[in-house]
Amino acid sequence: MYRNTFYAGPKVAAGAAPKYTHIMKTSFAIIALLILLLPQDGLCLELRQVELGVPQKFKKGTFAEKRELKVLPGISVSVFVSGVEGARFMAENADGVLFLSVPSDGTVLALPDRDRDGAADEVIVYARGLKRPHGLAFTDGELLVAEAGSVAALRDDDGDLKADSKKVITNDVPSGGGHWTRTIAVGPDKAIYVAAGSSCNACIEEDKRRAAVLKFTGQEAELFATGLRNTVGLEFDPITGKLWGVDNGTDMLGEDIPPEEVNLIEQGKDYGWPYCYGNKVPDPQLGSAGRCAGTTAPEVEMQAHSAPLGVAFGYGLKFPNMVENSLLIAFHGSWNRSVPTGYKVVAVPFNEKGSPAGKPFDVITGWHTGKEAWGRPVDVHAGRDGAMYVSDDHAGAVYKVTYEAPKKKAKGKR
């Protein structure tokens, strides 16, 4: 459904009638000019099937057999680490070492690739005994970890990639049932922002800290934004300093409603849940047009039940402009839909002003074969090395995604 039509230009020209009027000539000139004005990398958005690269040491379990993905032309995907079942969120330290949370194990892992061969050399337990550690963020050399009920700062003083101290920043983070993941982002103001999803599918929360983004400048939570059923991916645009998040819509309303949302998350705003979804649409049970008028609509609506989790701005990636200048989103995939959807990485193109500037388009798909899912993307990270990293809690892996421009076809062919 996200089939992008940005490059429909040449098709329009090919299908035109042979009688060229002046107007048509002008149109052709404009189309030709538009084609010339396309970004240099003129990205073809048709996906191609590629084999997943699997280093010998990871050829077991899910990766014992040949696996394929569909990717934008020029993209390669390989296993960076495997055997990390329940792999969730990622962060990278100043030395380019990738960190990974495994909430089901209570651990945060460090995954150094010292020989830079594109695969983690070893899996080091950076910290253990944590309470469902999920969101990670580095700030001033410390690793902030969002746990169920708290945010802690972990520090490795001797550089062995094992934490030596843990300091609790706040205990004013709601724990409890329902959407348990806590994600975290550090603002340009140095404040800590934590997303806490709802305790239920659709209900009126007693704890105001649920279904909200909380802001911490000290130990006490401040309600920053509300009406966010389950915002998981949360990221500041490093250029504009604005906060963006993806929200998971209510289940059981239908196959294609409500849309999953990309929201520009701003102070004091109400994003609707449980009363409204999408662009101020009243929830059939709880909502009303009056109640919805004061809510903030999403910036981008996406396929219902895709389950968007981690997000990352692509700035700095060694990828085509359209991917680099985008908000990348990992879709975990549906459960509340007869035909599965999601199970992929998409990009929402952003313009120079830092606003979404087009429909989301697929970057990598294929973890769901149509019969079964052998993997489920969770988080996406734009590496300092220009590569993209994608975690997968089902296959228990992190993938490294790289790009090399496809060789141009020789002229005169076709």
Residues that bind Ca ion (CB under 5 A): 113, 115, 117, 119, 121, 156, 158, 160, 162, 164
The distance of closest approach from Cβ of residue 127 to Ca ion in the complex, given in angstroms and rounded to an integer, is 10
Comparing CA positions, the residue from 290, 279, 205, 214 lying closest to residue 249 is 279
List of E strands, 275-396:
276-277, 281-282, 300-302, 308-313, 326-331, 344-349, 361-365, 377-382, 388-392
The distance of closest approach from Cβ of residue 64 to Ca ion in the complex, given in angstroms and rounded to an integer, is 21
Do residues 391 and 405 touch, judged by C-beta distance below 8 A? no
The pair of structure tokens assigned to 347 is 């990009």
Q: Which is nearer to Ca ion, 73 or 112 (CB)?
A: 112
The distance of closest approach from Cβ of residue 112 to Ca ion in the complex, given in angstroms and rounded to an integer, is 8
The distance of closest approach from Cβ of residue 140 to Ca ion in the complex, given in angstroms and rounded to an integer, is 17
The distance of closest approach from Cβ of residue 174 to Ca ion in the complex, given in angstroms and rounded to an integer, is 31
The distance of closest approach from Cβ of residue 113 to Ca ion in the complex, given in angstroms and rounded to an integer, is 4
The distance of closest approach from Cβ of residue 129 to Ca ion in the complex, given in angstroms and rounded to an integer, is 15
Q: Tokens 């035109």 correspond to what residue?
A: 16
Q: How far apart are CA 282 and CA 273, in angstroms?
A: 9
The distance of closest approach from Cβ of residue 168 to Ca ion in the complex, given in angstroms and rounded to an integer, is 19
**Single-letter code of the amino acid located at 291:** R
Q: Which is nearer to Ca ion, 65 or 158 (CB)?
A: 158
Q: Which is nearer to Ca ion, 113 or 393 (CB)?
A: 113
Q: Which is nearer to Ca ion, 163 or 225 (CB)?
A: 163
Q: Which is nearer to Ca ion, 326 or 391 (CB)?
A: 391
CA angle at residue 1 from 280 to 44, to 5 degrees? Answer: 125
Q: What are the beta bridge partners of residue 349?
A: 326
Q: Which is nearer to Ca ion, 107 or 230 (CB)?
A: 107
Q: Which is nearer to Ca ion, 117 or 206 (CB)?
A: 117
Q: How far apart are CA 120 and CA 111, in angstroms?
A: 5
Q: Which is nearer to Ca ion, 305 or 400 (CB)?
A: 400
Q: How many alpha carbons lie under 13 Å from residue 135 in its C-beta half-sphere?
A: 31
Distances (CA, A) of 213 to 174, 266, 276, 335: 11, 10, 17, 25
Do residues 213 and 228 touch, judged by C-beta distance below 8 A? yes
Q: Which is nearer to Ca ion, 216 or 389 (CB)?
A: 389
The distance of closest approach from Cβ of residue 125 to Ca ion in the complex, given in angstroms and rounded to an integer, is 11
Q: How far apart are CA 77 and CA 366, in angstroms?
A: 12
Q: How far apart are CA 6 and CA 325, in angstroms?
A: 16
The distance of closest approach from Cβ of residue 115 to Ca ion in the complex, given in angstroms and rounded to an integer, is 5
Do residues 363 and 322 touch, judged by C-beta distance below 8 A? no
Give the number of other CB atoms < 10 A from CB of residue 413.
Answer: 5
Q: Which is nearer to Ca ion, 108 or 292 (CB)?
A: 108
| 159-165 LR contacts (CB < 8 Å, sep 24+) | 161/97, 161/110, 161/112, 161/124, 161/126, 162/110, 162/124, 162/125, 162/126, 162/127, 163/108, 163/126, 163/127
Do residues 158 and 164 touch, judged by C-beta distance below 8 A? yes
The distance of closest approach from Cβ of residue 78 to Ca ion in the complex, given in angstroms and rounded to an integer, is 11
List of E strands, 12-86:
48-51, 68-71, 75-82
Q: What are the beta bridge partners of residue 182?
A: 196
Q: Which is nearer to Ca ion, 120 or 292 (CB)?
A: 120
